[in-house]
Amino acid sequence: MPGLERSPTRIVQLNTDLYPPIYSSQAYGWKNILVEEFRYPPGQETYQNLTSHTLCVSLNRRPSRLSLTLGDRRHSGLFSQGDISITPAEAVLICQGNDEDRILRIQLASQFFQQVAQDTLKLDPDRVELLPEFRARNPQIEQISMMLLAELTTGGLAGKLYVESLTNVLAVHLLRNYVAVERNIALYDGGLSDRQLLKVADYINAHLADDITLSDLAQLLGMSPFHFSRLFKRSIQVTPHQYVLQQRVELAKQLLQQTELSIMDIALQCGFSSHSHLGKWFRQQTGVTPKMYRINFR
């Protein structure tokens, strides 16, 4: 599924054309998720998205008063930093703000959400109904949202594999806490077989210069991204994203020792977006900069 477009259906009384997102992931090609930061003046908005569930996370440092109407349900109160509202796909939300509001808006494709439900719950995905919430507190979802915000504001620096992992975890947390069915998340013992693990490792090593995605790795073994990620970590104690970074740094170490390539060229050959991107992860894993490593270990 390609990156999400902005809301397919949206009726806005507050003229949001004058208030575009401060940051948007639309240009990054993230699958199944659209993450945007907005700053809105006081006013009213009527919002609907036909194909995605929407989470709004308050980023206000100072509580602001909001009145929300969703169907026959209404809520009015102060929203503080970290408060979360959930609007299921197709639902119409009317929001009246009396103060300036800064929010993180996350749109999660409903088709993807159903697929995760099918893969992680013993349920017909058509029976999974995401429940609306006006002002929820969920530390795990808040943490995932802040990690997505950090990735958004740094221009997608960590890469699509990292975002796909967060997207899967976010969907699972929503399924565990905010659906109107019996939530019996399946547990999986063991991990990947040696054959499976070697197949994935060989693929990663052959594609370190490419933009490796969680979906790519899961498809190698015919698994869902969520199941693959869990079994992979259970097998080698690190996430797929962490493993890919480790392998990229290892390749960079070899190239620094054995070639005269510039550090920028090495960064690109190892799948890093820039000299500084390589430097960040190289220092984190080795304790030295790429330049110092080349001087000390040649």
**Is the torsion defined by CA of 10, 12, 17, 21 positive or negative?**
negative
Would you kindly state where each structural domain of the chain is located, as residue ranges? 10-177, 188-298
Query: Looking at residue 176, what is its pLDDT?
Result: 87
Strand residues in 99-229 grouped as ranges (E): 101-109, 133-136
Query: Looking at residue 3, what is its pLDDT?
Result: 56
The amino acid that residue 196 corresponds to is: Q
φ, ψ at 162 (rounded to 5°): -65, -45
User: Rounded mean pLDDT of the chain?
Assistant: 85
Q: Mind listing the pLDDT tens digit for each residue in 46-83? A: 888 989 999 999 998 778 888 888 877 888 888 888 99
Residue 185 in 3-state DSSP? coil
Residue 113 and residue 172 in contact, taking contact as beta carbons nearer than 8 Å:
no
Average pLDDT over residues 190-209: 88
The amino acid that residue 286 corresponds to is: T
Average pLDDT over residues 292-296: 83
Q: Which class in CATH covers the domain with range 188-298?
A: mainly alpha
Find, among 55, 82, 58, 85, the residue nearest to 73 by Cα: 85
Query: Looking at residue 12, what is its pLDDT?
Result: 43
Please state which architecture CATH assigns to domain 10-177.
Sandwich (2.60)
Query: Looking at residue 53, what is its pLDDT?
Result: 95
Residue 117 and residue 75 in contact, taking contact as beta carbons nearer than 8 Å:
no
The model carries a pTM of: 0.69
CA distance 270 to 83: 39
Residue 159 and residue 209 in contact, taking contact as beta carbons nearer than 8 Å:
no
C-alpha angle 106/107/111, rounded to 5°? 145
Query: Looking at residue 122, what is its pLDDT?
Result: 61
Query: Looking at residue 185, what is its pLDDT?
Result: 43
Q: Mind listing the pLDDT tens digit for each residue in 116-166? A: 888 876 667 777 889 999 888 899 999 999 999 999 998 888 888 999 999
Residue 86 and residue 29 in contact, taking contact as beta carbons nearer than 8 Å:
no
How confident is residue 171, by pLDDT bands cut at 50, 70 and 90?
very high
Residue 200 and residue 220 in contact, taking contact as beta carbons nearer than 8 Å:
yes
Q: Mind listing the pLDDT tens digit for each residue in 33-48? A: 999 999 888 888 888 8
Query: Looking at residue 184, what is its pLDDT?
Result: 44
Q: Mind listing the pLDDT tens digit for each residue in 246-279? A: 999 989 998 988 899 999 999 999 998 888 888 8
Query: Looking at residue 5, what is its pLDDT?
Result: 54
How confident is residue 84, by pLDDT bands cut at 50, 70 and 90?
very high
Chain centroid to Cα 298, Å, comes to: 39
Find, among 205, 206, 204, the residue nearest to 214 by Cα: 204
The helix or strand, by DSSP H or E, that contains position 36, with its residue range, turns out to be: strand 33-40
DSSP 8-class letter at 132: P
Average pLDDT over residues 210-221: 90
Query: Looking at residue 240, what is its pLDDT?
Result: 92
